[in-house]
A and B are shown apart, each in its own frame.
Chain A
Amino acid sequence: MMASIQIAVRYVHLGFLWGASLLVPSAKRSEWSQEWRTELWYVLRECFSERGVSPRSIRKTTTFCMGAYRDATWLRRRSWQEQQLPLEVRSSAALCLLLLIAILLATWRITHISPRVAAGTSRIEVHSWRVSDRRAAPCDCPVDFIGEGRSLPTARLFFDGFSHYKVAWEMVWAEAMPGTEWTVAQAGSDFFAVLHLPMRSMERVGTGPGAFPQLVLSQETWIRDFGGDPNIGGAKLHVGSMDAIVAGVTFGASMGLPGKANAWLLSADPQIGADAAEFVAGHLSPVGYFNYGRWALSVGGIFLGLLLMAVAHPSIGEYGSGSHKPPLRSRSRSWAFLMAKISLLLAIAYFASVDLDCSLVQPLSQFSGCIQAGSSFAFCYLGLNWAFRDQQRRCPVCLRRMAHPIDVGQPSRTFLSWNGTELLCERGHTLLHIPLVRTSWFEVQRWVCLDQSWQFLFAPPGPPSTLP
């Protein structure tokens, strides 16, 4: 009994170690596991020889195994640190711009593959839903679309045509064909044209008053019941109590519409019974999301974000009274970099708001516009905040991130707070002092440009010089 408990305890703790090993980088996992399993063997031997299986010995072993997680986490963190780019690359302005461009391209790409936004592409989608029983049919749109008047104007932004059809079981027969029960969908005569559904016409059929209704066979039915006869066009079939003329064959998207109709009876006057299932189908406009002024929602949000930032009046620092300013060329470059960041961020905010809107809500939702405007405002405001904060920590000369922060001051004299933080440019161009305790004479961060006399501290190590 005791032996089996010991084995169980051992396996449980081996399980703990296995769990921890998943955190270890795969290159080191095998040796790491071997070492910890070995050590566990000694820990178990020690614990069980002292006290047998007792809660205390189990707790001691478990504590030992929990240490494995700390060790594994340390190794994982170390591995990440080794994989990081060197500070010289990480802090560069070019990398910052490249990352922003990559994000912009990603958001732009997502926007353009979204079916709701695909402007000018040939992508066509058909959505449909039940009306008669108000149950959620296989459909991508809200089922209460028809009932809720407020949604209708929004719907018109996305759909350029609607049609309606009923589906019922009907007996179909002809002179040369025994009676068969088909699922027949009855729709308006312009059903295929409105929904841009593919149909192969077989023969010119009369459409004037008094002409028979047209019957469009599904490709599957045409092959199954008529052997794919290309001369079936014009044949007269009896559909329930009506006569109809075969006008063509449909294939492709129409096969996937709810109801799975064997044939489509195109007639202006519905003849099928009142208990038939009804559907309304809408054709998604291929002309694009932005053609209806949707872009203005994002632009409005971005404008509000810009306005708020202008009111907040962020500062990127001042120069110390005893310090000279960097040359005009460097300062111009710094401002150009800030402008480039802001431009990219505004574009990102624009496309990201559209992406978010498309991914979060259904196209006909009344919240759609609010989400787009709100998210563009939030993205713009947060992005601009980041842009200014990033600029505040970049050397105005080389545009690299400042490094080596140290706290300065005497906490005992300033209510246990440091006076400020000082950062240094890696290349020795500038020193940045950020006040933590704001005073009337030192409110915003201050740059000190280091002159040439400091350069010997930052010169790369070279061969040892020989004294004259």
Chain B
Amino acid sequence: MARGPVLTHITGLILQAIDAGFVYGFTIMQMTGLPSGTIYPAMRRMEEDQLIRSRWERQAIADQEQRPPRKYYQLTATGRSALEASRKRYPLLARLVPNAEAKS
């Protein structure tokens, strides 16, 4: 039997953070309050499970803003349905992670 994605609390939290607009590692780490050693391996596993996908920001945009290019993460269709499932399992998730625009 093929192994499906495991919906742990951390997975739900990261999915919620990305969905809320915190789309690169540092902001996800800040928002969830989880240490880097937990966040990055979890995101790699989620990427393997095709819950999220990543892309590098164009160098020109980063140069314009005088910072290094970011690696952005976004939810896939599977990730979106996994987020819905984790919201049902962990109802407080939505309250834990506010929307990025609302926060800024």
Contact = CB atoms under 8 A, between A and B. Distances in A.
A70 interface: yes
B90 interface: no
Contacts of A192: none
Interface stretch (B3-11, B63-71, B78-86, B95-103): B63-71
B34 to A, nearest CB: 9
If over half of B's interface residues share one DSSP class (helix, strand or loop), that class is named, otherwise mixed; here it is helix
Interface of B: 25-26, 29-30, 35-41, 44, 67-71
Contacts of A75: 41, 44
Given A38-B68, A39-B25, A70 B44 contact: no
A259 B44 CA distance: 67
A68 interface: yes
Contacts, number: 50
Nearest to B35: A67
17 contacts: A35-B71, A37-B68, A39-B26, A39-B29, A41-B67, A41-B68, A46-B30, A63-B36, A67-B39, A67-B40, A68-B37, A70-B37, A70-B38, A71-B40, A75-B41, A75-B44, A78-B44
A37 B56 CA distance: 14
Contacts of B38: 67, 70
A67 B38 CA distance: 7
A42 interface: yes
Contacts of B37: 66-71
Contacts of A39: 25-26, 29, 36
Interface in A50-80: 63-71, 74-75, 78
Interface of A: 35, 37-39, 41-43, 46, 63-71, 74-75, 78
B67 A70 contact: no
Given A37-B68, A38-B70, A70-B37, A43 B26 contact: yes
Contact of B41 (A37, A41, A42, A74): A74
Given A38-B70, A41-B68, A64 B44 contact: no
B35 to A, nearest CB: 5
B36 to A, nearest CB: 3
B26 A71 contact: no
A38 B44 contact: no
Contacts of A67: 35-40
Given A41-B68, A66-B37, A69-B37, A35 B44 contact: no
Given A46-B26, A70-B36, A70-B37, 9 more contacts: A35-B25, A37-B68, A39-B26, A39-B36, A42-B26, A63-B36, A64-B35, A67-B39, A71-B37
Contacts of A63: 35-36
A41 B30 CA distance: 14
Q: Which of B25, B30, B41 has the most CB of A within 10 A?
A: B41
A66 B37 CA distance: 7
Nearest to B68: A38
A74 B35 CA distance: 15
A76 B25 CA distance: 20
Contacts of A64: 35-36
Contacts of A38: 68-71
Contacts of A66: 36-37
Contacts of B26: 39, 42-43, 46
Q: Which of B30, B37, B44 has the most CB of A within 10 A?
A: B37
A436 B26 CA distance: 47
A427 to B, nearest CB: 15
Contacts of A68: 36-37, 40
A460 to B, nearest CB: 12
Q: Which of B26, B30, B44, B67 has the most CB of A within 10 A?
A: B26
A451 B37 CA distance: 48
